[in-house]
Amino acid sequence: MISENIKSVKERINAACKRSGRNPEDVTLISVSKTKPLEMLKEAYAAGSRDFGENKVQELCDKIPEMPEDVRWHMIGHLQTNKIKYIIGRTALIHSVDTLHLAEAIEKEAAKRGLVVDVLVEVNVAGEDSKFGTSDIETNKNLIRNVSALLHLRLCGLMTIAPYTDDPETNRPYFKALRELLYSDDMRVFFPEKPVLSMGMSGDYEIAVEEGATHVRVGTGIFGERDYSVR
Ligand SMILES: *Cc1c(COP(=O)(O)O)cnc(C)c1O
């Protein structure tokens, strides 16, 4: 089941790339495995998945040693400063830097260990109260400037979580807004030549790819519905 799901998600990504004149090689599919048991992650790995997303530090730390070493782990959930020490140096990318306070705490831990940590700034494009990050443009621009100045962080791009919706088209303006923020005249200089746009989940990743996503985070579409009651 998981391998078929991955195959079909990839086909849909390829089709979205075709529609928008993009190269499928520029889109990374992250298998969001939060709450899912190791057997399912191993199935996804066997089907070719090397990028896995988790949103809880404890779960990430439990899973890392159980999976092959070439897995790239993506921290996609809210990160508390007191937990940075458990994941520092173990993630390929931290997607959820939403405050300068958090960025500085990662900086401190990374400096202590002589590491440079790849991060994204999380932007709450739709301004939803339930989500982390802010929609205020100036606040986000200041965060981008300040994060890029930290020596032990490498600001790779931006991430957003769009609203939950039955009609993915309604999220198109948010994906567009994230891309426009990154490519704006005053912000583009703070990002690398090939920047990361982490946007799009099971319900809307095709739209996100059409709007320039380089990383899509798909959970339900690969592993099925999550059951939080058993945890
Ligand atoms: C859970 C989660 C996802 C995956 O959500 P699905 O709708 O199951 O694809 C993506 N991004 C973040 C930040 C998440 O927490």
Q: How far apart are CA 146 and CA 139, in angstroms?
A: 10
The alpha carbon of residue 194 and the mean position of all alpha carbons in its chain are separated, in whole angstroms, by 16
With a cut of 70, which residues of the chain have pLDDT below it? 230-231
Residue 227 is predicted with a pLDDT of 84
Residues 86, 64: contact at Cβ < 8 Å? no
Torsion of CA 76, 80, 82, 88, to 10 degrees: 20
- H or E element, residue 112: helix 100-113
**Please, what is the end-to-end C-alpha distance for the chain in angstroms?**
23
Residue 230 is predicted with a pLDDT of 58
Residue reference for tokens 């079909």: 8
Query: How far does residue 161's CA lie from ligand 1's centre (Å)?
Result: 8
Query: How far does residue 180's CA lie from ligand 1's centre (Å)?
Result: 23
Query: How far does residue 53's CA lie from ligand 1's centre (Å)?
Result: 8
**Which residue, judged by its Cα, is nearest atom 11 of ligand 1?**
217
Query: How far does residue 88's CA lie from ligand 1's centre (Å)?
Result: 22
**Which residue, judged by its Cα, is nearest atom 10 of ligand 1?**
217
Residue 15 is predicted with a pLDDT of 98
Domains located in the chain, CATH noted: 2-223 (3.20.20.10)
The two beta strands, 51-54 and 153-159, are unpaired
- Spell out which residues line ligand 1, taking CB within 6 angstroms: 32, 34, 55, 76-77, 161, 201-203, 217-221
Residues 66, 38: contact at Cβ < 8 Å? yes
Closest atom of ligand 1 to 95 CA is 13
